[in-house]
Amino acid sequence: MDQGNREKTTYLAALAYLSEKDNQNYQITGITKDAKKLGDQAQTIILQGASMRPTEIDGVKIQSVFDLPLYSFKLEIKRRWLPKKEEIDLVFRDYPGEIFDELASGIYKPVHQEFIDECFVKDVVGCLLLLHRWDRGGERFYSQLMKRFIDLMDNRDRSLDLRLAVAMSKCERGELWPGRLDPEIDLFKVHLPRTTSILRKKIPPQNLRFYAISTFGILKRNDPRPNRLDELGSEHSVLREPPKWEPYGMISPLYWLSKGKRM
């Protein structure tokens, strides 16, 4: 989940984009038609210097979460010392950001109930929570949202068996990038201390991990400028140099959510 609507869509597109790249540690394969289409959009939209559209159905805000496509991927983890690859099935639904804005405000609509029902069903092992604000207003919003989210977990009897991977997205920003190696200490406790405290008090330690993610990444190792530019007259971002697109930190939280252990 993420307050920023395009942030989630761009994250999923970046995940689909990784399926086209060679990596010695993992391989991602789009399974469903929608997942493959998302990979095509990464190539034809993001790599062409444009931004993804927010979650909509034919240009109209969705009325039901079941109107949204399910994106299914297969993640294969390569281990040199293991004869067989680890395989993980990943299924995503790109919920519109307004759901989380309204949940934080205590507004409940039928679409919220559908989201809650799907999010907390017993065969869901975990949730990836993408937080992209680190200012004072973000702290107020996220602390309120986490309280409501945890209450919903309690009401659905999921407070003890649902894993939460909480990620600071947009960590390519200069003020965040140096803290990516120990995100709980150097990002969350510094920028979102109240939100971090609420999560630590309410979620069992074995079910909570903090991560740093950057969908856009940086230009290169010795040039850690964000590979991101803000669109003129818009709060949305595009790639600064598309040929150097290297998303950061995408896989580790997904592996932990599935396996309950570090990658």
Provide the pLDDT for residue 232. Answer: 64
Provide the pLDDT for residue 53. Answer: 64
pTM as predicted: 0.88
Residue ranges of the chain whose pLDDT lies below 50 = 2-4, 57-60
- For the chain, the average pLDDT equals 84
pLDDT digits (tens, 9 = 90+) for 128-172: 999 988 888 889 999 999 999 999 999 999 999 999 999 999 999
Provide the pLDDT for residue 179. Answer: 96
pLDDT digits (tens, 9 = 90+) for 26-35: 888 889 888 8
3-state secondary structure of 212: strand
**182, two tokens:** 């120990």
Beta bridge partners of 76: 27, 87
**Cα 9 to the chain's mean position, in Å?**
9
**Contact by Cβ (8 Å): 127, 162:** yes
Provide the pLDDT for residue 207. Answer: 97
Sequence ranges of the domains in the chain: 5-259
**27, two tokens:** 């391989």
Burial label for 234, CB within 10 Å (0-12, 13-18, 19+), is exposed
